[in-house]
Amino acid sequence: MRARLLSILFASITASIFVHSTLAFAATNIGIPGLSLSVAPSTGPTGVVNTVQILVMLTVLSIAPAILIMMTAFTRIVVVLSFVRSALALQTTPPNQVIIGLSLFLTLFVMTPTFSAVNKNAIQPYLAGHMSQTTAIAQAEYPFKVFMAKQTRIQDVELFLQYRHEAQPKSLTTLPLTTLVPAFVISELETAFQIGFMIYIPFLIIDLVVATTLMSLGMMMLPPVLISLPFKLLLFVMVDGWYLVVKSLLAGFH
């Protein structure tokens, strides 16, 4: 009963303090800024075009991270680094933040020439008013097409061209992005899995040797992973594994 009375008394005091503070705040006549939104009809075709362009740009910006990931070296790099962690039988080391962060900076390093070309040929002329928005978009697409064309396999491009019953062009840079981007992503995944397979081979041999040794010694209840993990780490450190992995990734984009 006493606890109940104390809780009621505490609630009454709290409500009283809240009411008095609210009245005191209202008495000071402090103005709170408001937000006003209005929608007015367009006065001409120019206003409609500008509104549509703004909506299109906002839509593109919302999906820009996904577009950039699919059109850059990020896919191959992050998949290969994930394979390295899995081959070492390490679930959370390095953590996902480190893997993604390293992949982003390696992507920035690889894509710097492409980004510089886009900035020089499209962004700066458009900001200076020397070209229209349509021309700037076309100029910005070309460096990305050149980069993707170097890494895309012909058979992946033919897959999408055959689906649309289109002839193979003389140059992959003339393909629309709707055809070149998925072909590029498939090629990147294929290359990343090939690199991942080569990474797995030496660690798989270590697992087999350790498992066979434990079985020959009659230690069937001892998990082989506990014994093979130190040997995997020792091998990876001795051959400077991260250097070799990053070197092979960078060499693949030349």
Which is more confident, 208 or 32? 208
Asked if residue 136 has pLDDT above 50, the reply is yes
| Residue 42: predicted pLDDT | 52
The HSE-up count of residue 234 (CA atoms within 13 Å, CB side) is 6
Say yes or no to pLDDT of 7 above 60: no
* 181 or 68, which is more confident: 181
Average pLDDT of every residue of the chain:
76
CA Rg, the chain, in Å? 30
pLDDT for 56-68, tens place per residue? 667 666 777 777 7
Taking residue 180's Cβ as centre, other Cβ atoms within 10 Å add up to 23
Residue 19 predicted with pLDDT over 60: no
Angle formed at CA 62 by CA 60 and CA 65, multiple of 5 degrees: 90
What does the pLDDT read at residue 37?
47
Position 12 confidence tier, pLDDT thresholds 50, 70, 90:
low
pLDDT at 14 over 60: no
- 90 pLDDT above the threshold of 70: yes
Share of the chain above pLDDT 90, in %: 6
More confident residue, 196 or 168: 196
pLDDT score of 2:
45
221, burial (CB in 10 Å: exposed 0-12, middle 13-18, buried 19+): exposed
What's the mean pLDDT in 45-53? Answer: 57
Residue 163 has pLDDT above 50, yes or no: yes
- Stated pTM of the model: 0.71
Question: Pick from 156, 187, 175, 159: which is nearest to 70 by CA?
Answer: 187
Span of 78-82, 121-125, 139-143, 212-216 with lowest mean pLDDT: 212-216
